[in-house]
Amino acid sequence: MKAAVVYQKNEIRIDDVPRPRAGSGEIVVKVRASGICATDVKILSGAGIPAELPAILGHEVAGTVVELGDGTEGAGLHIGQRVAVYPIAACGQCLYCLQGRNSLCLQEHGLGHGDDGGFAEYVNIPREVVRLGGVVDIGEMPFDLAAMIEPTSCCIAAADQCGTKAGDTVVVIGAGPLGLLHTIVSTACGAEVVCVDVNEDRLNKALKLGAKRVINPALEDTAAVVGEMTGVGANVVIAAVGIPRVMESYLPLVRNGGVFNVFGGTPRGEMMKVDPRWIHYGEIVLTGTFASSVSQFHRAHEFVAEHAEEIEAVISTRCGLDDILAAVLRVQSGEGTKSVILFPE
């Protein structure tokens, strides 16, 4: 089968590799759509390159079931079933899994993270994912839309962590694909969303997707605008960017008693400064989210089905596996929004 294989930093090649076979408790999915995440691009560029190379990345996967391993009879799966896949192989038994926090599993691995991912014609789904109920029937949902379930689940996880509710003001820093998904999710929670970015095209898209206000910090004073809108600052600020100095500059947007969520992954070793007196006397909650639980993935499936038009609008490019290098460059340059790799039937 064809796969996009990472050999080292900034080296990814389309190669022929053996097609996976389902072991006990596992299944094999023929990939029909696989989203390109900023995390994949960061890994490729050397920020957290896999310990074992070569490797196949890709964790936003939808496709059809083509092989069932022994012991999967009770999983409710069948050959030809159209599915989306939760990418984290969590044990289901550690203290975090018992709290429903699968992303913090003490034994986790998963697609593109210890296991070969979805930038390939076929992908093996670990037994832990199958056992958790992480293979979700998508019915007639288009595959490219189904590949958006995983990133949407991460935004739902952030909204849960922040306690986003009706009447809140939520400031989203960054109007990239995840920033736009945060805009959709927070708006659906009943919040008024303010989206901040220097890219006017992305800001215009944020407005179309429900943002109450957009701010280009090169043209307006973000703190002044948010202060004028709220009087006291935002209930929630979600930093959907991966640059610590940018995150740090927006900490003051949070009102006393509010929440600042570090959502964008940052380069290892880069720090931001936080005044502990600000946290202490302002009773600020400083938190972070990076993934989701399997239950949030199921909720995201329902959410994407209900908000299909908005979610689909986040996708700007659909391409084949052979075009993955160009797609990666688009992500690196900030061109467009979301790129999804499509595979033929």
pLDDT digits (tens), the chain, 345 positions: 999 998 887 788 999 999 999 999 999 999 999 999 988 877 776 666 666 788 999 999 999 999 999 999 989 999 999 999 999 999 999 999 999 999 999 999 999 989 999 999 999 999 999 999 999 999 999 999 999 999 999 999 999 999 999 999 999 999 999 999 999 999 999 999 999 999 999 999 999 999 999 999 999 999 999 999 999 999 999 999 999 999 999 999 999 999 999 999 988 889 999 999 999 999 999 999 999 999 999 999 999 999 999 999 999 999 999 999 888 888 878 888 999 999 998
Q: Which residue has the tokens 């002044």?
A: 224
Q: Taking the domains of the chain in order of start, what are their residue ranges?
A: 2-152+292-342, 155-288
Alpha-carbon distance of 143 to 34, in angstroms, equals: 9
Sequence-distant contacts of 77-83: CB under 8 A, at least 24 apart: 77/27, 77/130, 77/135, 81/137, 82/137, 82/138, 82/139, 82/140, 82/141, 82/143, 82/146, 83/29, 83/135, 83/136, 83/137, 83/138, 83/146
Instruction: Print burial letters for 188-222: b (CB count within 10 Å at least 16), e (below 16).
Output: bbebbbbbbbebeebbebbbebbbbbbbebeeeeb
Tell the CATH topology of 155-288.
Rossmann fold (3.40.50)
Q: Give the CB-side neighbour count of residue 57, counting CA atoms within 13 A.
A: 29
What's the whole-model pTM score? 0.96
Instruction: Print burial letters for 51-81: b (CB count within 10 Å at least 16), e (below 16).
Output: eeebbbbbbbbbbbbebbbeebeebebeeeb
The gap between the terminal CA atoms of the chain, to the nearest Å, is: 14
Write down the architecture of domain 2-152+292-342 according to CATH: Alpha-Beta Complex (3.90)
